[in-house]
């Protein structure tokens, strides 16, 4: 099973999704992220989905779940690098990801977290 | 008497009287077009058609019928593009019957030949009409495409602020195009604020509002805040009476207000420069 690495940069955890997500790897990622958050006390999570070309309701729900988990640890989630086609698909699916903040790229995502901290 | 032989006799008769028939035909057509096409031009077009027609009627020249139809299609297509009415276009063909009838009216033995010929011209006339309609349909389709292209520009208002002035009715096809353009521009420019200006949208109903909200939430997924501007008093009343909720989307009366709001959010300010007073350096 492929694992998604979680990188710690200062008080931010950086997750870049570059594999085709399967159920198991998603569950694993959520567990790993919860562990990391409790261990490091990070205040922000950046999820980079630049490499994700296809989304469905499953991935949409995963993103929302990660947002909820992070909030329990008082960390803010920022979703970065979404492609236009993906944004249109998510909107058509009726998933507007209300609990998650979004930014165009990783740089802006970091600025968003640092600005609000 | 079979059709082929009567057609051939008619062709021979018409070949003998070619100049007379074409002259009269051009006269009738030119009168119908009321000077929008010069007489010489009409004469040239009809000469070509007449020659093709004679070849088609002789019965020995198979490709001539196809060529004749193609020539007619081209002629009616150009008529359609130049704004001639369908009647004017079809009359151009039907006038040939009048021109020929004036000649054969006195010769009783040519009546069956004339009837066969008349049926053929009717057929060609209908063909003309059909291609005319097809050409017009094509023009309408092209114009619809051009309008779609024209009506969805994405413009940069300021560093980090882009605007989409929406003009015309917002249906799902338009929304799709606007959304794609907007998101592509957001990725390309990295803008953090987008203004959707609906000054040019005549009516806002629940469907249009739905389309707007979709566009806004797609832009939000890319980390861009949208501001809806250009809400006219009547539109505001409709929105309220229909119970449409814009939620936490900022709405402004004018594009200028929206720009000011976006600049304010991004921490920029526009200041009036103090005018220099004369004589004090």
Which CATH number does the domain housing residue A64 bear? 3.30.750.24
Mean pLDDT of B194-208: 88
Query: What are the C-alpha distances in Å from B81 to residues A98, B30, B42?
Result: 52, 18, 17
Cα–Cα distance for residue pair A93/B155, rounded to 1 Å: 28
**Residue A1 included in any domain:** no
Residue numbers of the domain that contains B223: 155-265
Q: Based on the domain organization, do B134 and B183 belong to the same domain?
A: no
Query: What are the C-alpha distances in Å from B102 to residues B26, B43, B96, B107, B119?
Result: 14, 19, 10, 10, 17
Residue owning tokens 């969805």: B152
Query: Which residues in chain A are contacts of B214 at CB distance < 8 A?
Result: 91-92
ipTM: 0.77
Residue owning tokens 């058609």: B49
Q: Does A93 touch chain B (CB under 8 A)?
A: no
Q: Based on the domain organization, do B38 and B126 belong to the same domain?
A: yes
Residue B279's pLDDT band (boundaries 50, 70, 90)?
A: low
Verify whether the Cβ–Cβ distance B221 to A105 is below 8 Å.
no
Cα–Cα distance for residue pair A84/B179, rounded to 1 Å: 9
Closest CA of chain B from A89, distance in Å: 9
Domain count, chain B: 2
Q: Based on the domain organization, do B159 and B186 belong to the same domain?
A: yes
Which CATH number does the domain housing residue B207 bear? 3.30.750.24
Q: Based on the domain organization, do B159 and B238 belong to the same domain?
A: yes
**Residue A62 included in any domain:** yes
Mean pLDDT of B220-239: 90
**Residue B272 included in any domain:** no
Q: Classify each residue of B128-152 as buried b or exposed e, where b means 16 or more C-beta atoms within 10 Å of its C-beta.
A: bbebbeebbeeeeeeeeeeeeeebb
Verify whether the Cβ–Cβ distance B219 to A87 is below 8 Å.
yes
**Residue B218 included in any domain:** yes
Q: Based on the domain organization, do B56 and B108 belong to the same domain?
A: yes
Residue B1's pLDDT band (boundaries 50, 70, 90)?
A: very low
Q: Among B88, B123, B146, which residue terminates a domain?
A: B146
Residue numbers of the domain that contains A66: 6-116
The residues facing A13 across adjacent strands are A8, A45
**Residue B271 included in any domain:** no
**Residue A85 included in any domain:** yes
Q: Based on the domain organization, do B100 and B218 belong to the same domain?
A: no
Q: Among B119, B146, B173, which residue terminates a domain?
A: B146
Token digits for B42? 């009409």
Domain count, chain A: 1
Of B187, B192, B217, the CB nearest to A96: B217
Q: Does A112 touch chain B (CB under 8 A)?
A: yes
State the pLDDT at residue A14.
93
Verify whether the Cβ–Cβ distance A104 to B217 is below 8 Å.
no
Residue B48's pLDDT band (boundaries 50, 70, 90)?
A: confident
**Residue B182 included in any domain:** yes
Closest CA of chain A from B187, distance in Å: 7
Strands (E), chain B: 155-158, 161-167, 193-200, 225-229, 250-251
Q: What is the pLDDT of residues B54-87, one digit of tens each?
A: 888 877 777 888 888 888 888 888 888 888 888 8
Verify whether the Cβ–Cβ distance B187 to A84 is below 8 Å.
yes
Verify whether the Cβ–Cβ distance A108 to B192 is below 8 Å.
yes
Q: Based on the domain organization, do B9 and B79 belong to the same domain?
A: yes
Mean pLDDT of B140-162: 85
Instruction: Please report, rounded to a whole number, the percentage of residues in chain B having pLDDT higher than 70.
Output: 96
Q: Classify each residue of B214-228 as buried b or exposed e, where b means 16 or more C-beta atoms within 10 Å of its C-beta.
A: bbbbbbbbbbbbbbb
| One pLDDT digit (tens) per residue for chain A, 117 residues | 778 889 998 899 999 998 888 888 888 899 999 999 999 989 999 999 998 888 888 888 888 888 898 989 999 999 999 999 999 988 888 887 877 889 998 998 998 888 754
**Residue A17 included in any domain:** yes
Q: Based on the domain organization, do B101 and B163 belong to the same domain?
A: no
pTM over 0.80? The answer is: no
**Residue A102 included in any domain:** yes
Q: What is the pLDDT of residues B136-146, one digit of tens each?
A: 899 899 888 88
Which CATH number does the domain housing residue B73 bear? 1.10.490
Strands (E), B187-279: 193-200, 225-229, 250-251
Verify whether the Cβ–Cβ distance B221 to A91 is below 8 Å.
yes
**Residue B276 included in any domain:** no
Residue B201's pLDDT band (boundaries 50, 70, 90)?
A: confident
**Residue B49 included in any domain:** yes
Residue B182's pLDDT band (boundaries 50, 70, 90)?
A: very high
Q: Based on the domain organization, do B36 and B122 belong to the same domain?
A: yes
**Residue B277 included in any domain:** no
Q: Based on the domain organization, do B142 and B163 belong to the same domain?
A: no
Q: Based on the domain organization, do B134 and B64 belong to the same domain?
A: yes
Cα–Cα distance for residue pair B280/B6, rounded to 1 Å: 104
Nearest CA in chain B to A115: B266
Count CA atoms closer than 13 A to B280's CA, side-chain side. 4
Token digits for A115? 């600005």
Residue owning tokens 């200028």: B256
Q: Most confidently modeled of B2-6, B61-65, B91-95, B211-215?
A: B211-215
Q: Based on the domain organization, do B26 and B116 belong to the same domain?
A: yes
Max CA distance (Å), chain A = 37
Cα–Cα distance for residue pair B209/B190, rounded to 1 Å: 26
Select from B72, B60, B55 the least CA-distant residue to B124. B72
State the pLDDT at residue A117.
45
Mean pLDDT of B161-175: 86
Query: Which residues in chain B are contacts of A103 at CB distance < 8 A?
Result: 223
Residue B115's pLDDT band (boundaries 50, 70, 90)?
A: confident
**Residue A72 included in any domain:** yes
Query: Which residues in chain B are contacts of A80 at CB distance < 8 A?
Result: 223
**Residue B213 included in any domain:** yes
For the beta carbon of residue A71, count every other beta carbon within 10 angstroms.
Answer: 14
């Amino acid at each position: 099973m492929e694992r998604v690495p979680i990188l710690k940069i200062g008080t931010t955890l950086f997750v870049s999704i570059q594999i085709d997500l399967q159920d198991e790897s998603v569950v694993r990622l959520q567990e790993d992220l919860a562990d990391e958050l409790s261990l490091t006390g990070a205040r922000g999570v950046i999820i980079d989905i630049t490499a994700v070309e296809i989304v469905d309701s499953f991935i949409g729900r995963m993103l929302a779940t990660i947002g909820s988990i992070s909030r329990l640890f008082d960390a803010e989630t920022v979703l970065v690098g979404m492609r236009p086609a993906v944004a249109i698909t998510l909107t058509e699916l009726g998933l507007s990801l209300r609990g998650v903040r979004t930014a165009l790229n990783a740089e802006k995502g970091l600025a968003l977290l640092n600005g609000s901290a | 008497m079979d059709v082929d032989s009567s057609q051939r006799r008619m062709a021979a008769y018409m070949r003998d009287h070619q100049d007379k028939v074409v002259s009269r035909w051009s006269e009738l057509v030119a009168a119908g077009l009321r000077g929008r096409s010069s007489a010489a031009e009409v004469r040239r077009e009809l000469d070509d058609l007449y020659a093709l027609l004679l070849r088609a009627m002789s019965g020995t020249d198979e490709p001539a019928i196809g060529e004749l139809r193609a020539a007619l299609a081209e002629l009616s297509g150009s008529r359609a593009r130049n704004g001639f009415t369908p009647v004017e276009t079809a009359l151009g063909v039907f006038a040939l019957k009048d021109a020929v009838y004036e000649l054969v009216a006195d010769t009783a033995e040519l009546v069956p030949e004339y009837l066969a010929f008349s049926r053929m011209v009717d057929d060609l006339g209908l063909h003309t009409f059909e291609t005319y309609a097809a050409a017009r349909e094509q023009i309408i389709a092209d114009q619809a495409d051009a309008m779609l292209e024209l009506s969805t520009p994405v413009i940069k208002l300021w560093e980090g602020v882009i605007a989409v002035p929406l003009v015309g009715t917002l249906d799902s096809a338009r929304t799709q195009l606007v959304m794609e353009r907007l998101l592509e521009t957001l990725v390309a420019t990295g803008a953090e604020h987008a203004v959707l200006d609906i000054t040019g949208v005549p009516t806002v109903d629940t469907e249009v509002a739905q389309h707007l909200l979709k566009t806004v939430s797609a832009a939000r997924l890319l980390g861009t805040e949208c501001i809806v501007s250009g809400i006219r008093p009547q539109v505001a009343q409709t929105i309220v009476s229909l119970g449409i909720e814009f939620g936490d989307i900022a709405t402004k009366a004018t594009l200028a207000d929206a720009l000011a709001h976006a600049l304010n959010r991004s921490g920029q300010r526009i200041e009036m420069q103090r005018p220099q007073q004369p004589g004090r350096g």
